[in-house]
Amino acid sequence: MFIGHFGAGFAAKSVDKKISLGTLFLASQFIDLLWPILLLLGLESVKIESGNTAVTPLNFISYPISHSMFSVIIWGILFGIVYYLIKKNPRGSILLGVLIFSHWLLDLLTHRPDLQLFPWSNYKVGLGLWNSFAGTVVIESLIFILGVLIFYKVSKLQSKSKKILFWSLVIFLAAIYVMHLYGPPPPSAEPIAFVSLAQWLLIAWAYWIDRSPKSHLR
Q: pLDDT by residue (tens digit) across 119-168? A: 999 999 999 999 999 999 999 999 999 999 999 999 988 889 899 999 99
Displacement of CA 210 from its chain's centroid (Å): 18
User: What is the residue-averaged pLDDT of the chain?
Assistant: 93
Q: Is the pLDDT of residue 47 over 80?
A: yes
Q: Is the pLDDT of residue 88 over 90?
A: yes
Rounded Cα distance between 60 and 111, Å, is 9
pLDDT score of 217: 35
CB atoms within 10 A of CB 70: 15
Q: Is the pLDDT of residue 215 over 70?
A: no
Question: Longest C-alpha distance within the chain, in Å?
Answer: 51
pLDDT score of 191: 87
- Band (50; pLDDT cuts 50, 70, 90): confident
Question: What DSSP string runs through 41-65?
Answer: TTSSEEEE-TTSSSS--EEEEE-HH
pLDDT score of 166: 96
Residues 110, 115, 116, CA angle at the centre, nearest 5°? 160
Q: What is the pTM of this model?
A: 0.93
Rounded Cα distance between 100 and 15, Å, is 15
pLDDT score of 212: 56
The answer to whether the CB of 27 falls within 8 A of the CB of 99 is yes
Q: Is the pLDDT of residue 187 over 90?
A: no
pLDDT score of 218: 39
pLDDT score of 21: 96
Enumerate the β-bridge partners of residue 124. Answer: 116
